[in-house]
A and B are shown apart, each in its own frame.
Chain A
Amino acid sequence: MSGHDNGAPVAQPTHFEFTPENLERAKKIIAKYPPGRQASAVLPLLHLAQAQHDNWLPRAAMDYVARMLDMAPIRVYEVATFYTMFNLKPVGKYLLQACTTTPCWLRGSDEVVAACERKLGIRMGETTPDGMFTLTEVECLGACVNAPVLWVNDDFYEDLDGPSTERILDALRRGEKPPIGPQIDRQTSAPVGGKTTLLNVKREA
């Protein structure tokens, strides 16, 4: 599917079905919508399928979800190709999604991307030969206050520069999970260098 890129054809599994636990979850999700409106559950079900299947969506999974929701398969393909959050081919154990939209770019996303490419020896859109990392570019992740941002699987690493990006990649390769959030001395999205307002408010006991 051209939605994400025009790479080599992907070896598609012929079969997909939810694990019993995921099937239960799927039923609960579908039950949230009124009868005849099951199609509304397509996004959560695709996410569930992707999570179950090494973080990518094979065609068999989309067909399975289509059958489950009584949708024409083409409508599920349209949804799956529309959202960049769905991976339509295998990805590395760590999916690195670098934000390069204006605020991140102004704050140095070029360095983050360059660090990834240098450290991993791959280009944007590629996967390392050992299957550990896939690097992709995303549009705004809505975390501009902590720009630049790198999204790794389910977590955001924020306030990055070249060296901090490399440290994170090294730790991931070692099997560690570096602390998520800002990579500089900063509490979440609070001002850099500490609080600047409400300094005289005492915390209640």
Chain B
Amino acid sequence: MSTIKFILDGREVEAAPGETIWQVANRLGIEIPHLCYSPKPGYRPDGNCRACMVEIEGERVLAASCIRKPAPGMKVQTASERAKTARKLVFELLVADQPPRERAHDPDSRFWQWADRVEVAASRFPKDVRPKPDRSHPAMAVHLDACIQCTLCVRACREVQVNDVIGMAARGHQEKIVFDFDDPMGASTCVACGECVQACPTGALMPATLVDEAGAYTNAPDREVDSVCPYCGVGCQLTYRIRNDRIVAVAGKNGPSNRNRLCVKGRFGFDYVHHPDRLTKPMIRKEGVPKSDVAIDPANPWTHFREATWEEALDRAAEGLRRIRDRDGPGALAGFGSAKGSNEEAYLFQKLVRTGFGSNNVDHCTRLCHASSVAALMEGIGSGAVTAPFMAAEQSDVIIVIGANPTENHPVAATFFKQATKRGAELIVMDPRGQALKRHATHMLQFKPGRDVPMLNAMLNVICEEELYDRQYVQAHTEDFEKLKAHVKDFPPEKMAPLCGIDAETLRTVARKFARAEAGIIFWGMGVSQHTHGTDNARCLIALALITGQTGRPGTGLHPLRGQNNVQGASDAGLIPMVYPDYRSVEDPATRAFFEELWGTKLDPKKGLTVVEIVNAAYDGRIKGLYVMGENPAMSDPDAGHARAGLAKLEHLVVQDIFLTETAKYADVVLPASAWPEKDGTVTNTNRQVQMGRRALPLPGDARQDWWIIQEIARRIGLDWNYTHPRDVFAEMTKAMPSLANITWERLLREDSVTYPCPAPDHPGEAIVFAERFPTPSGRGKLVPASIVPPAEEPDEEYPMVLTTGRQLEHWHTGAMTRRAEVLDLLEPEAVAMLSPLDLRRLGIAPGEKIRVATRRGRIELSARSDGAVPSGLIFIPFCYAEAAANILTNPQLDPYGKIPEFKYCAAKVEKVEAEALAAQ
């Protein structure tokens, strides 16, 4: 399409197709006031406030420049007297109803800034009756007395985040912004993403932290630092707003994966860094305090620990590791790194274990989340990362989301899926639990828990039998298709329907839809991976994408939604017992030789132990010393009672963390580390985007940078390390990791985000990969048939229900951070188990009553919650609550390939805790 030539303020200019007058003017540096229009991505112009009126020659009335598109030859005056006068009057009318500026909720709001520029400070018009404040929400202050009804918050809630909570109710003079049915915000269905707060141009909606009880702006930030969110794998870029070295608010930044959006955790869950429980002194376990005694209040660890100097604590930590290594051999030591730290920390940690401990016994929580997905992807397409970013959903016409609950676990990624459905894409959600995405789904397949393979094989059967596969693609890019085709012949939908609980017709319909899609994409989460058949589940999904040719093009691909903010990066950096950085096998002599050369030492040629194996080995006495950086296996490992017993048996446990976690309670030495906003470092999100995190805050007390602590330990166990800053580590990583080609520290400082693989120093990186070939020996994608393997522990008479675990929107993983974030813990303050209303009635339990959930491994007591999304027979428990740790219950049986435990399925029973029993406690 050609450009449109028109006259703007007397000079000829060109507009791109679709560009509005405001956008052209803005691009050329001509300022036009605007209130209801936001130039931020995702916001549609609405043209309702009339602050941006311009004069167009030959037209009777002024036009709203935010929404008006130029026509060829049009003559536009942006600053004619008539336009200026009209705009000024708009501001004067609005100022009449505003609270006085000296008591404004935000005196620096966009509204007041524009009022200054059009020189309006007072109004001749009478003031209307204004709505009362609404302070019902812990995170947001609602003062509609400053509202100008511009509807930016409605668009934020409805079109940008697609949460559909805010509306414009009534009409005329009574018109009003409402939450649901004019409920108080805190009682509404608001999920507290805060997009409306960020969009509001007047201060009518504000982060509650910035205003006092009367709504006056008293807590203005004094500086800002750009960084990345510390929570999930989406990797939202954000700006910390800081006052007196405390984060007082967070704003979304225009990063490639979030486009200014955030969720409740990223926006309102930052004050954990300032929590009084922060570890600020190195600590050594007191003489004679047994490891079995872990009744420790994190706020007062001095009952069990004593303060130590860094010198003493580091010496003690390293001495224990050295002693065990020299006495029992490298195999008696292990290390858990963290997907919550930076790439540089992950790299240093695995290097420490490999070169200092002398084994490959290094792993991290990827083992507990997507290890099976990575195993299947490595086997199938030769790469464990996503083939396309989640933003690719914008170009898809059929989107499958299976075993994932993105509105809670990847909320900003979910906005892209919801927007895609608004555009007309079909969304197929497959999950045993109903979920918020259901409302946007074309098909919701609520299949029986643990029956992924029968359902997916039935779809593969339909595609093969009805010859819906992409012949050309299969021929050119895959291998073993005939094997797969022969295998899935035995899985017709009619036969699979009773197994998976989805009728044959639906199975056929969704199979046909995905196969026939122009561009189909598959997203999956822990519901797929956390099974003893997790690798098989992922194999089916890979086969589904490959035989239909749904990879390597815009809008297509395979995308396991990564959980932690840096689980991709930590895995890339080699925090995995079988592989060196960039997934190169420790058993491959050439690779080993390369790393022996790079690191200047001999390396262990055997694979190391995985997370659960290490804890088991500790229990059996084979592992005697463990160094844990930022992980919390006492909460996160399956059969946590057993895991804790294993930790208690360790001769020497060093824990480096920001809080006294449940794991740290078993430690001999505790090293106070840095929170994410206190450090410089890079992280890699689910989209393979390497992003720069910047230090925004000073370290509290005697806490130290994690990289510094690792280096000090390294030096004390005989390594000659001399890194001075994470940038030195990154520089070394670029030598060790071809995936980081053309990505440098300086470039990331400058650009904030670069996607790998990146073909050139000025290239943004390849978002969608494997268009031509897969990085497998044959260059083809391998199709691996999967058979039905039942879950390891089926319900029986004694344990008649199925327990599944997961996360909640407000809480992160083991809760170490989010339970200490005020807003988040206010929103979800206590341990809950979700059951179907039917089961609650059957068991005679009222919502809110205390129940006991027991499995063969243990029992916990917590509150019952009625949840219509949970099918009868299923119990869902979030694993973030230390007071009722779900993992006391879970089954540690492992997937044979990915070594991931079956967190998503075990047999359980539920009983009501009688009032007398409660009173007796």
Q: In the complex, A54→B164 CA distance in Å?
A: 29
Is B99 in the interface zone, CB < 8 Å from A? no
Residue of chain A at shortest CB distance from B171: A82
Taking each of A1, A59, A62, A75, which has the highest tally of chain B beta carbons within 10 Å of its own beta carbon? A1
Q: Would you give the 0/1 interface string for A124-160, flagging 1 where the beta carbon is closer than 8 Å to chain B?
A: 0000000000000000000000000000000000000
Is B86 in the interface zone, CB < 8 Å from A? no
Are B176 and A2 closer than 8 Å at their CB atoms? Answer: yes
Are B164 and A77 closer than 8 Å at their CB atoms? Answer: no
Are B167 and A75 closer than 8 Å at their CB atoms? Answer: yes
**Cβ contact of A75, chosen from B164, B176, B181, cutoff 8 A:** B164
Is A51 in the interface zone, CB < 8 Å from B? no
Is B174 in the interface zone, CB < 8 Å from A? yes
* Residues of chain B lying within 8 A (CB to CB) of residue A85: none
The minimal Cβ–Cβ distance linking B236 to chain A, given in whole angstroms, is 24
Are B182 and A74 closer than 8 Å at their CB atoms? Answer: no
Q: Would you give the 0/1 interface string for B163-191, flagging 1 where the beta carbon is closer than 8 Å to chain A?
A: 01111111100101010111000000000
Are B171 and A74 closer than 8 Å at their CB atoms? Answer: no
Tell whether A2 pairs with B181 under 8 Å between CB atoms, given A73-B164, A74-B165, A75-B167. Answer: no
Are A59 and B181 closer than 8 Å at their CB atoms? Answer: yes
Q: In the complex, A62→B182 CA distance in Å?
A: 14
Residue of chain A at shortest CB distance from B168: A78
Residue of chain B at shortest CB distance from A77: B181
Within 8 A of B (CB), among A60-119: 62, 70, 72-75, 77-78, 81-82
Q: What secondary structure prevails in chain B residues at the interface with A?
A: mixed
**Cβ contact of A73, chosen from B158, B169, B170, B180, cutoff 8 A:** B180
Q: Would you give the 0/1 interface string for B147-169, flagging 1 where the beta carbon is closer than 8 Å to chain A?
A: 00000000000100000111111
Within 8 A of B (CB), among A1-38: 1-4
The minimal Cβ–Cβ distance linking B46 to chain A, given in whole angstroms, is 15
The minimal Cβ–Cβ distance linking A9 to chain B, given in whole angstroms, is 10
* Residues of chain A lying within 8 A (CB to CB) of residue B181: 1, 59, 62, 73, 77
Q: In the complex, A171→B695 CA distance in Å?
A: 80
Tell whether A74 pairs with B180 under 8 Å between CB atoms, given A81-B170, A82-B170. Answer: yes
Tell whether A2 pairs with B164 under 8 Å between CB atoms, given A59-B181, A73-B180, A74-B180. Answer: no
**Cβ contact of B174, chosen from A3, A73, A77, cutoff 8 A:** A3
* Residues of chain B lying within 8 A (CB to CB) of residue A4: 170, 174
* Residues of chain B lying within 8 A (CB to CB) of residue A59: 181
Are B169 and A3 closer than 8 Å at their CB atoms? Answer: yes
Q: In the complex, A81→B175 CA distance in Å?
A: 9
Are A3 and B164 closer than 8 Å at their CB atoms? Answer: no
The minimal Cβ–Cβ distance linking A13 to chain B, given in whole angstroms, is 14
**Cβ contact of A1, chosen from B166, B169, B439, cutoff 8 A:** B169
The minimal Cβ–Cβ distance linking B179 to chain A, given in whole angstroms, is 9
Q: In the complex, A42→B166 CA distance in Å?
A: 19
Q: In the complex, A78→B170 CA distance in Å?
A: 7
Q: In the complex, A4→B174 CA distance in Å?
A: 8
* Residues of chain A lying within 8 A (CB to CB) of residue B164: 72-75
Q: In the complex, A1→B188 CA distance in Å?
A: 13
**Cβ contact of A2, chosen from B158, B166, B170, cutoff 8 A:** B170
* Residues of chain A lying within 8 A (CB to CB) of residue B168: 78
Taking each of A4, A70, A72, A73, which has the highest tally of chain B beta carbons within 10 Å of its own beta carbon? A72
* Residues of chain B lying within 8 A (CB to CB) of residue A74: 158, 164-167, 178, 180
Q: In the complex, A81→B180 CA distance in Å?
A: 12
Are A77 and B178 closer than 8 Å at their CB atoms? Answer: yes
Residue of chain A at shortest CB distance from B131: A2
Q: In the complex, A3→B175 CA distance in Å?
A: 7
* Residues of chain A lying within 8 A (CB to CB) of residue B167: 74-75, 77-78
Residue of chain A at shortest CB distance from B176: A2
Q: In the complex, A2→B169 CA distance in Å?
A: 8
Are A1 and B165 closer than 8 Å at their CB atoms? Answer: no
Are B174 and A2 closer than 8 Å at their CB atoms? Answer: yes
Taking each of B168, B170, B180, which has the highest tally of chain A beta carbons within 10 Å of its own beta carbon? B170
Q: In the complex, A78→B164 CA distance in Å?
A: 11
The minimal Cβ–Cβ distance linking B111 to chain A, given in whole angstroms, is 23
Q: In the complex, A1→B182 CA distance in Å?
A: 5
Are A3 and B166 closer than 8 Å at their CB atoms? Answer: no
The minimal Cβ–Cβ distance linking A92 to chain B, given in whole angstroms, is 22
Q: In the complex, A62→B170 CA distance in Å?
A: 15
* Residues of chain A lying within 8 A (CB to CB) of residue B169: 1-3, 77-78, 81-82
Q: In the complex, A82→B165 CA distance in Å?
A: 17
Q: In the complex, A75→B174 CA distance in Å?
A: 17
* Residues of chain A lying within 8 A (CB to CB) of residue B166: 74
The minimal Cβ–Cβ distance linking A28 to chain B, given in whole angstroms, is 24
Q: In the complex, A78→B175 CA distance in Å?
A: 10
**Cβ contact of B182, chosen from A2, A73, A75, cutoff 8 A:** A2
Q: In the complex, A78→B158 CA distance in Å?
A: 13
Q: In the complex, A1→B174 CA distance in Å?
A: 11
Q: In the complex, A82→B178 CA distance in Å?
A: 13
The minimal Cβ–Cβ distance linking B132 to chain A, given in whole angstroms, is 10
* Residues of chain A lying within 8 A (CB to CB) of residue B170: 1-4, 81-82
Taking each of A4, A59, A70, A81, which has the highest tally of chain B beta carbons within 10 Å of its own beta carbon? A81
Residue of chain B at shortest CB distance from A72: B164
Q: In the complex, A59→B168 CA distance in Å?
A: 16
Residue of chain B at shortest CB distance from A59: B181
Q: In the complex, A70→B441 CA distance in Å?
A: 10
The minimal Cβ–Cβ distance linking A87 to chain B, given in whole angstroms, is 14
* Residues of chain B lying within 8 A (CB to CB) of residue A82: 169-171
The minimal Cβ–Cβ distance linking A194 to chain B, given in whole angstroms, is 41
Q: In the complex, A74→B158 CA distance in Å?
A: 10
Q: In the complex, A74→B167 CA distance in Å?
A: 6
* Residues of chain B lying within 8 A (CB to CB) of residue A77: 167, 169, 178, 180-181
Residue of chain A at shortest CB distance from B163: A72
Q: In the complex, A28→B158 CA distance in Å?
A: 29
The minimal Cβ–Cβ distance linking B443 to chain A, given in whole angstroms, is 13
**Cβ contact of B178, chosen from A1, A62, A70, A72, cutoff 8 A:** A1
Q: Would you give the 0/1 interface string for B194-238, flagging 1 where the beta carbon is closer than 8 Å to chain A?
A: 000000000000000000000000000000000000000000000
Q: In the complex, A77→B166 CA distance in Å?
A: 10
Q: In the complex, A42→B906 CA distance in Å?
A: 45
The minimal Cβ–Cβ distance linking A77 to chain B, given in whole angstroms, is 5
The minimal Cβ–Cβ distance linking B156 to chain A, given in whole angstroms, is 13
Q: In the complex, A59→B170 CA distance in Å?
A: 15
The minimal Cβ–Cβ distance linking A39 to chain B, given in whole angstroms, is 13
Q: In the complex, A62→B101 CA distance in Å?
A: 40
Q: In the complex, A119→B700 CA distance in Å?
A: 75
Q: In the complex, A4→B178 CA distance in Å?
A: 14
Q: In the complex, A59→B189 CA distance in Å?
A: 14
The minimal Cβ–Cβ distance linking B444 to chain A, given in whole angstroms, is 12
Taking each of B164, B180, B181, B182, which has the highest tally of chain A beta carbons within 10 Å of its own beta carbon? B181
* Residues of chain A lying within 8 A (CB to CB) of residue B165: 74
* Residues of chain B lying within 8 A (CB to CB) of residue A62: 181
* Residues of chain B lying within 8 A (CB to CB) of residue A75: 164, 167
Q: In the complex, A70→B182 CA distance in Å?
A: 21
* Residues of chain A lying within 8 A (CB to CB) of residue B158: 72, 74
The minimal Cβ–Cβ distance linking A181 to chain B, given in whole angstroms, is 30
Q: In the complex, A75→B166 CA distance in Å?
A: 9
Within 8 A of A (CB), among B430-483: 439
Q: Would you give the 0/1 interface string for B871-889, flagging 1 where the beta carbon is closer than 8 Å to chain A?
A: 0000000000000000000
The minimal Cβ–Cβ distance linking A185 to chain B, given in whole angstroms, is 38
Jot down 25 A-B pairs with beta carbons below 8 A, ordered by A: A1-B169, A1-B181, A2-B170, A2-B176, A2-B178, A2-B182, A3-B169, A3-B171, A4-B170, A59-B181, A72-B158, A72-B164, A72-B439, A73-B164, A73-B180, A73-B181, A74-B165, A74-B167, A77-B169, A77-B181, A78-B167, A78-B169, A81-B169, A81-B171, A82-B169
Residues of B within 8 A of A (CB): 158, 164-171, 174, 176, 178, 180-182, 439
Residues of A within 8 A of B (CB): 1-4, 59, 62, 70, 72-75, 77-78, 81-82
Q: Give the 4 A-B CB pairs with smallest separation, nearest first.
A: A72-B164, A3-B170, A74-B167, A81-B169
6 additional A-B residue pairs with CB within 8 Å, beyond A73-B164, A74-B178: A1-B169, A1-B182, A72-B158, A72-B439, A75-B164, A78-B169
